[in-house]
Chain A
Amino acid sequence: MSMLIFYILAIVAVVSALMVVTLRNVFHSALFLVLTLFSVAGIYVLLEAEFLAAVQVLIYVGAITILMIFAIMLTYQITSKSIRQVNEQVIPAVIIVLVFFVLSLVTLIKTSWPVSNKSLPGNNTFEIGRQLLSTYVIPFEVVSIVLLIALIGAIIISRQDGPSRPGQEDR
Protein backbone atom coordinates (compact mmCIF):
# COMPACT_ATOMS: atom_id res chain seq x y z
CA MET A 1 0.00 0.00 0.00
CA SER A 2 2.69 2.49 0.98
CA MET A 3 4.54 1.32 -2.11
CA LEU A 4 1.63 2.41 -4.31
CA ILE A 5 1.41 5.79 -2.56
CA PHE A 6 5.14 6.26 -2.96
CA TYR A 7 4.99 5.59 -6.70
CA ILE A 8 2.03 7.94 -7.20
CA LEU A 9 3.75 10.73 -5.25
CA ALA A 10 7.09 10.13 -6.97
CA ILE A 11 5.58 10.17 -10.47
CA VAL A 12 3.61 13.34 -9.74
CA ALA A 13 6.72 15.00 -8.30
CA VAL A 14 8.99 14.03 -11.17
CA VAL A 15 6.54 14.84 -13.96
CA SER A 16 5.69 18.24 -12.52
CA ALA A 17 9.39 18.94 -11.88
CA LEU A 18 9.95 18.19 -15.56
CA MET A 19 7.20 20.69 -16.37
CA VAL A 20 8.86 23.26 -14.09
CA VAL A 21 12.11 23.12 -16.04
CA THR A 22 10.69 22.81 -19.57
CA LEU A 23 7.48 24.85 -19.90
CA ARG A 24 7.68 28.05 -21.91
CA ASN A 25 5.34 30.00 -19.68
CA VAL A 26 7.08 30.80 -16.38
CA PHE A 27 3.79 31.32 -14.61
CA HIS A 28 2.72 27.75 -15.41
CA SER A 29 6.13 26.57 -14.19
CA ALA A 30 5.46 28.23 -10.83
CA LEU A 31 2.10 26.45 -10.56
CA PHE A 32 3.74 23.09 -11.33
CA LEU A 33 6.36 23.90 -8.70
CA VAL A 34 3.50 24.06 -6.18
CA LEU A 35 2.46 20.54 -7.25
CA THR A 36 6.03 19.24 -6.87
CA LEU A 37 6.37 20.73 -3.41
CA PHE A 38 3.05 19.23 -2.33
CA SER A 39 4.14 15.76 -3.43
CA VAL A 40 7.44 16.20 -1.60
CA ALA A 41 5.38 16.99 1.50
CA GLY A 42 3.57 13.68 0.91
CA ILE A 43 6.94 11.94 0.67
CA TYR A 44 7.83 13.44 4.08
CA VAL A 45 4.63 11.98 5.53
CA LEU A 46 5.64 8.58 4.12
CA LEU A 47 9.01 9.02 5.87
CA GLU A 48 7.19 9.67 9.18
CA ALA A 49 8.24 13.32 9.32
CA GLU A 50 4.83 14.92 9.85
CA PHE A 51 6.17 18.16 11.25
CA LEU A 52 8.43 18.66 8.24
CA ALA A 53 5.50 17.98 5.91
CA ALA A 54 3.54 20.75 7.62
CA VAL A 55 6.54 23.09 7.48
CA GLN A 56 7.00 22.25 3.79
CA VAL A 57 3.41 23.17 2.97
CA LEU A 58 3.46 26.33 5.10
CA ILE A 59 6.82 27.75 4.01
CA TYR A 60 7.41 26.39 0.51
CA VAL A 61 3.88 26.29 -0.84
CA GLY A 62 2.53 29.12 1.26
CA ALA A 63 5.40 31.58 1.17
CA ILE A 64 8.14 30.88 -1.34
CA THR A 65 5.97 30.08 -4.37
CA ILE A 66 3.66 32.99 -3.62
CA LEU A 67 6.76 35.21 -3.51
CA MET A 68 7.83 33.81 -6.88
CA ILE A 69 4.40 34.35 -8.41
CA PHE A 70 4.50 37.94 -7.16
CA ALA A 71 7.91 38.43 -8.75
CA ILE A 72 6.65 36.93 -12.03
CA MET A 73 3.67 39.28 -12.00
CA LEU A 74 5.93 42.26 -11.31
CA THR A 75 8.52 41.50 -13.94
CA TYR A 76 7.26 39.28 -16.70
CA GLN A 77 4.64 39.76 -19.40
CA ILE A 78 2.56 36.60 -19.04
CA THR A 79 0.75 37.25 -22.29
CA SER A 80 3.89 37.29 -24.42
CA LYS A 81 4.48 33.59 -24.83
CA SER A 82 6.79 34.01 -27.79
CA ILE A 83 9.81 34.82 -25.61
CA ARG A 84 12.33 32.02 -25.91
CA GLN A 85 12.79 30.50 -22.46
CA VAL A 86 15.79 28.25 -22.95
CA ASN A 87 19.27 29.22 -24.02
CA GLU A 88 21.47 27.47 -26.54
CA GLN A 89 22.99 25.04 -24.00
CA VAL A 90 20.17 22.49 -24.05
CA ILE A 91 22.09 19.61 -25.61
CA PRO A 92 25.22 19.99 -23.41
CA ALA A 93 22.92 20.33 -20.40
CA VAL A 94 21.10 17.09 -21.27
CA ILE A 95 24.45 15.29 -21.58
CA ILE A 96 25.75 16.71 -18.29
CA VAL A 97 22.57 15.86 -16.43
CA LEU A 98 22.46 12.31 -17.83
CA VAL A 99 26.10 11.71 -16.88
CA PHE A 100 25.47 13.08 -13.39
CA PHE A 101 22.35 10.99 -12.97
CA VAL A 102 23.88 7.74 -14.19
CA LEU A 103 26.94 8.23 -11.99
CA SER A 104 24.89 8.97 -8.89
CA LEU A 105 22.56 6.05 -9.66
CA VAL A 106 25.52 3.65 -9.90
CA THR A 107 26.96 5.04 -6.66
CA LEU A 108 23.64 4.80 -4.83
CA ILE A 109 23.05 1.22 -5.92
CA LYS A 110 26.60 0.00 -5.28
CA THR A 111 26.89 1.51 -1.80
CA SER A 112 25.73 -0.70 1.04
CA TRP A 113 23.90 1.68 3.34
CA PRO A 114 24.13 1.03 7.10
CA VAL A 115 20.37 0.73 7.46
CA SER A 116 19.28 0.33 11.05
CA ASN A 117 16.03 -1.42 11.85
CA LYS A 118 15.12 0.82 14.75
CA SER A 119 12.24 3.20 14.29
CA LEU A 120 11.92 6.93 14.79
CA PRO A 121 10.94 8.17 18.25
CA GLY A 122 7.18 8.26 18.42
CA ASN A 123 6.83 11.90 19.41
CA ASN A 124 8.82 13.21 16.51
CA THR A 125 7.97 16.89 16.78
CA PHE A 126 8.76 16.96 20.49
CA GLU A 127 12.15 15.41 19.79
CA ILE A 128 12.93 17.96 17.04
CA GLY A 129 12.13 20.83 19.37
CA ARG A 130 14.24 19.36 22.15
CA GLN A 131 17.23 18.85 19.84
CA LEU A 132 16.90 22.33 18.35
CA LEU A 133 17.25 23.89 21.79
CA SER A 134 19.90 21.55 23.18
CA THR A 135 22.30 19.92 20.69
CA TYR A 136 21.75 22.31 17.79
CA VAL A 137 21.19 25.54 19.70
CA ILE A 138 24.17 27.36 18.11
CA PRO A 139 23.16 26.54 14.50
CA PHE A 140 19.60 27.43 15.41
CA GLU A 141 20.60 30.90 16.60
CA VAL A 142 22.94 31.41 13.65
CA VAL A 143 20.26 30.46 11.13
CA SER A 144 17.84 32.87 12.83
CA ILE A 145 20.33 35.70 12.40
CA VAL A 146 20.93 34.67 8.77
CA LEU A 147 17.20 34.80 8.09
CA LEU A 148 16.86 38.21 9.76
CA ILE A 149 19.79 39.66 7.81
CA ALA A 150 18.49 38.20 4.56
CA LEU A 151 15.08 39.77 5.05
CA ILE A 152 16.56 43.17 5.95
CA GLY A 153 18.86 42.86 2.93
CA ALA A 154 15.93 42.03 0.65
CA ILE A 155 14.06 45.11 1.82
CA ILE A 156 17.10 47.36 1.38
CA ILE A 157 17.93 45.97 -2.07
CA SER A 158 14.43 46.37 -3.46
CA ARG A 159 13.76 49.87 -2.18
CA GLN A 160 12.82 52.34 -4.86
CA ASP A 161 15.29 55.11 -3.95
CA GLY A 162 18.47 54.84 -1.97
CA PRO A 163 18.37 55.33 1.77
CA SER A 164 16.53 58.54 2.58
CA ARG A 165 18.75 61.22 4.02
CA PRO A 166 17.75 63.48 6.88
CA GLY A 167 16.01 66.60 5.67
CA GLN A 168 14.70 64.81 2.59
CA GLU A 169 11.02 64.21 3.15
CA ASP A 170 9.00 61.41 1.62
CA ARG A 171 5.64 62.28 0.21
Chain B
Amino acid sequence: MMSELTLLHFLILAAVLFALGIFGLLTRRNAIGILMSIELMFNGAAINFVAFARYVAPQEIAGQVFTIFIITIAAAEAAVGLAIVILIYRNFKGIEVDKINFMKW
Protein backbone atom coordinates (compact mmCIF):
# COMPACT_ATOMS: atom_id res chain seq x y z
CA MET B 1 0.00 0.00 0.00
CA MET B 2 1.37 3.38 -0.97
CA SER B 3 1.83 5.80 1.87
CA GLU B 4 0.73 8.91 0.04
CA LEU B 5 -2.31 9.84 -2.04
CA THR B 6 -1.47 9.87 -5.73
CA LEU B 7 -3.32 10.64 -8.93
CA LEU B 8 -3.74 6.91 -9.55
CA HIS B 9 -5.95 6.42 -6.48
CA PHE B 10 -8.50 8.90 -7.74
CA LEU B 11 -8.36 7.62 -11.32
CA ILE B 12 -9.03 4.04 -10.17
CA LEU B 13 -11.94 5.17 -7.99
CA ALA B 14 -13.38 7.05 -10.97
CA ALA B 15 -12.95 3.97 -13.18
CA VAL B 16 -14.80 1.82 -10.62
CA LEU B 17 -17.71 4.27 -10.45
CA PHE B 18 -17.85 4.50 -14.25
CA ALA B 19 -17.82 0.70 -14.60
CA LEU B 20 -20.65 0.34 -12.08
CA GLY B 21 -22.58 2.97 -14.04
CA ILE B 22 -22.13 0.96 -17.24
CA PHE B 23 -23.30 -2.17 -15.44
CA GLY B 24 -26.47 -0.44 -14.26
CA LEU B 25 -27.07 1.03 -17.70
CA LEU B 26 -26.87 -2.41 -19.31
CA THR B 27 -28.95 -4.34 -16.78
CA ARG B 28 -31.68 -2.05 -15.42
CA ARG B 29 -35.19 -2.41 -16.77
CA ASN B 30 -36.49 0.68 -15.03
CA ALA B 31 -35.92 3.95 -16.91
CA ILE B 32 -35.27 5.85 -13.67
CA GLY B 33 -32.66 3.23 -12.71
CA ILE B 34 -30.95 3.87 -16.03
CA LEU B 35 -30.91 7.62 -15.36
CA MET B 36 -29.35 6.98 -11.94
CA SER B 37 -26.63 4.84 -13.56
CA ILE B 38 -25.92 7.69 -15.97
CA GLU B 39 -25.46 10.01 -12.98
CA LEU B 40 -22.89 7.55 -11.60
CA MET B 41 -20.99 7.68 -14.89
CA PHE B 42 -21.08 11.51 -14.88
CA ASN B 43 -19.58 11.44 -11.39
CA GLY B 44 -16.78 9.14 -12.47
CA ALA B 45 -15.87 11.51 -15.30
CA ALA B 46 -16.07 14.52 -12.98
CA ILE B 47 -13.72 12.91 -10.44
CA ASN B 48 -11.23 12.41 -13.27
CA PHE B 49 -11.43 16.09 -14.22
CA VAL B 50 -10.95 17.32 -10.65
CA ALA B 51 -8.07 14.89 -10.03
CA PHE B 52 -6.28 16.06 -13.17
CA ALA B 53 -6.88 19.67 -12.14
CA ARG B 54 -5.24 18.92 -8.80
CA TYR B 55 -2.29 16.82 -9.92
CA VAL B 56 -1.44 17.52 -13.57
CA ALA B 57 -2.22 21.17 -14.29
CA PRO B 58 -2.84 22.91 -10.97
CA GLN B 59 -2.04 26.45 -12.08
CA GLU B 60 -4.73 26.70 -14.76
CA ILE B 61 -7.69 25.05 -13.00
CA ALA B 62 -9.44 24.10 -16.23
CA GLY B 63 -10.52 20.75 -14.79
CA GLN B 64 -12.64 22.35 -12.10
CA VAL B 65 -14.26 24.73 -14.61
CA PHE B 66 -15.14 21.79 -16.84
CA THR B 67 -16.60 19.92 -13.88
CA ILE B 68 -19.01 22.81 -13.43
CA PHE B 69 -20.05 22.35 -17.07
CA ILE B 70 -20.51 18.60 -16.48
CA ILE B 71 -22.75 19.23 -13.49
CA THR B 72 -24.83 21.71 -15.50
CA ILE B 73 -25.27 19.25 -18.36
CA ALA B 74 -26.17 16.52 -15.85
CA ALA B 75 -28.89 18.74 -14.41
CA ALA B 76 -30.30 19.46 -17.87
CA GLU B 77 -30.15 15.75 -18.75
CA ALA B 78 -31.96 14.76 -15.55
CA ALA B 79 -34.72 17.32 -16.13
CA VAL B 80 -35.39 16.29 -19.73
CA GLY B 81 -34.96 12.58 -18.97
CA LEU B 82 -37.42 12.57 -16.10
CA ALA B 83 -39.93 14.58 -18.11
CA ILE B 84 -39.73 11.93 -20.85
CA VAL B 85 -40.08 9.17 -18.22
CA ILE B 86 -43.24 10.75 -16.83
CA LEU B 87 -44.69 11.18 -20.32
CA ILE B 88 -43.94 7.51 -21.11
CA TYR B 89 -45.57 6.44 -17.85
CA ARG B 90 -48.67 8.42 -18.76
CA ASN B 91 -48.94 6.72 -22.16
CA PHE B 92 -47.78 3.17 -21.33
CA LYS B 93 -48.65 2.76 -17.62
CA GLY B 94 -45.13 1.51 -16.98
CA ILE B 95 -41.52 2.54 -17.41
CA GLU B 96 -39.90 -0.82 -18.10
CA VAL B 97 -37.69 -0.01 -21.06
CA ASP B 98 -37.95 -3.47 -22.63
CA LYS B 99 -41.70 -2.99 -23.06
CA ILE B 100 -41.36 0.37 -24.79
CA ASN B 101 -40.49 -0.85 -28.27
CA PHE B 102 -43.12 0.85 -30.45
CA MET B 103 -40.37 2.50 -32.51
CA LYS B 104 -38.85 -0.87 -33.32
CA TRP B 105 -39.78 -1.68 -36.92
Contact = CB atoms under 8 A, between A and B. Distances in A.
Nearest to B16: A14
A51 B64 contact: yes
Interface in A124-152: 124, 127-128, 131-132, 136, 139, 143, 146-147, 150-151
Nearest to A19: B20
A120 B54 contact: yes
Interface in A114-130: 114-116, 118-121, 124, 127-128
In this complex, the interface size class of chain B, counting residues with CB under 8 Å from chain A, is 35 or more
Given A18-B20, A49-B54, A87-B29, A115 B69 contact: no
Given A105-B15, A157-B83, A40 B47 contact: yes
A34 to B, nearest CB: 11
Q: Tell me the dominant secondary structure on chain A's binding face.
A: helix
A108 B44 CA distance: 14
A76 B65 contact: no
Contacts, number: 227
Interface in B15-69: 15-24, 26-30, 32-33, 35-37, 39-40, 43, 46-47, 50-51, 53-62, 64-65, 67-69
Contacts of B71: 55-56, 59-60
8 contacts: A17-B20, A47-B54, A52-B68, A96-B22, A96-B26, A109-B8, A114-B56, A158-B86
4 pairs of A and B residues whose beta carbons are closest in the complex:
A21-B24, A150-B76, A93-B26, A154-B83
Interface of B: 3-13, 15-24, 26-30, 32-33, 35-37, 39-40, 43, 46-47, 50-51, 53-62, 64-65, 67-69, 71-80, 82-87, 89, 95-96, 98
Interface of A: 2-3, 6, 10, 13-14, 17-18, 20-21, 26, 29-30, 33, 36-37, 40, 43-44, 46-49, 51-52, 55-56, 59-60, 63-64, 67-68, 70-72, 74-76, 83-87, 89-90, 92-94, 96-97, 100-101, 104-105, 108-109, 113-116, 118-121, 124, 127-128, 131-132, 136, 139, 143, 146-147, 150-151, 153-155, 157-158
